[in-house]
Amino acid sequence: MKIQLVSDSSANRGTRVKRDVAYVPLKIVSAEKEYVDDGSLDVTAMLAELKTSSGKTGTACPSVQEWMDAFDDADMVLGTAITSGLSGSYNSGVIAAETYRESHPNAKVCLIDSLSAGPELQLILEKFDELLDKTEDFDTITREIRTYHQHTNLIFALASVNSLVKNGRLNPILGKAIGLLGLRIIGKASEEGTLQPLHKSRGEKKAIQQLVQSLSDEGYKGGKVRISHTDNLPAARDFAAQVKQKWPTADIDIVPHTGLCGYYAEEGGLMIGFES
């Protein structure tokens, strides 16, 4: 039986999944250019170019066909997508699954609406991978992944929310206070899969302390922590060290943002997926 793990590129590229993951690219678009969020995109260069771009910038979710191509004639497709609260990607994926079943009547597809972005998707992909080590029973995997998803979470710290506000993904009133005076917005993925601001911190050091506090407030007890960042490895490492000190059993991994998260979390942005 051929099994394929899939996700859209909002998951970044984790390092802990043993099986191949087909990452369906979202796109970042400016007046001048379209950037495809595949493995070859240079995110730092893209962000620098976008800064000098003349007009509006934005993003586009994968098409139904792009999702179907990622399914790659597999008998079982297991995957996840960025929150349906902020993107049409999951919806495209669901239509792809329905269409796929018509041409592959025996195929099984389980696509989870992550209600989140970035590293929380990595946790879901890792879990699929671990479940597959034990069983290939579709119903068991589907049941267990849904239970697991109830115990995965996302928090973030952003130094700028311009892209989110300009693209209608965050209330502009909230955006106003950020970016001024070195403020960071600390927030989480809400139950509905939207951005829920929790705190404002002045400066990176305080933001990291607040993230550690929020991790604890949101029910973290020492399991997996997956960190992703836009060109901010020092902050990611600093946060990881504080987590390790407080919860010695923490299982931590750090990866850079690929295009989609890089564009929205912006320079310095941190995203943290974790188990509660």
Binding residues for ligand X90, rule: CB under 6 A, are 26, 59-61, 82-83, 86-89, 116-117, 154, 156, 169, 189, 193-195, 261, 264-265, 271
For residues 203 and 157, is the Cβ–Cβ distance under 8 A? no
> CA 24, CA 9: separation in Å to the nearest integer?
6
The minimum distance between CB 61 and ligand X90, in angstroms, equals: 3
Least separation in angstroms between CB 219 and ligand X90: 17
**Cβ 128 vs Cβ 6: under 8 Å:** no
Structure tokens given for 201: 């911190």
Q: Which two tokens stand for residue 234?
A: 């020092």
CB of 262 to ligand X90, least distance (A): 9
* Helical H segments across the chain, by residue range: 43-51, 64-71, 89-103, 119-134, 138-149, 162-166, 172-177, 204-217, 233-246, 259-265
**Which residue, 28 or 74, has its beta carbon nearer to ligand X90?**
28
Nearer to ligand X90 by Cβ, of 76 and 97: the residue is 97
The residue count of the chain comes to 276
CB nearer to ligand X90: pick between 107 and 272: 272
Cβ 24 to ligand X90, closest distance in Å? 12
In degrees to the nearest 10, what's the CA dihedral of 210, 215, 217, 220? Answer: -160
Measured from the CB atom, the residue of 169 and 244 that comes closer to ligand X90 is 169
Residue 87 or 108 with smaller CB distance to ligand X90: 87
Provide the minimum distance between the beta carbon of 207 and ligand X90 in the complex, in angstroms, as a whole number. 14
3-state class (DSSP) for residue 162? helix
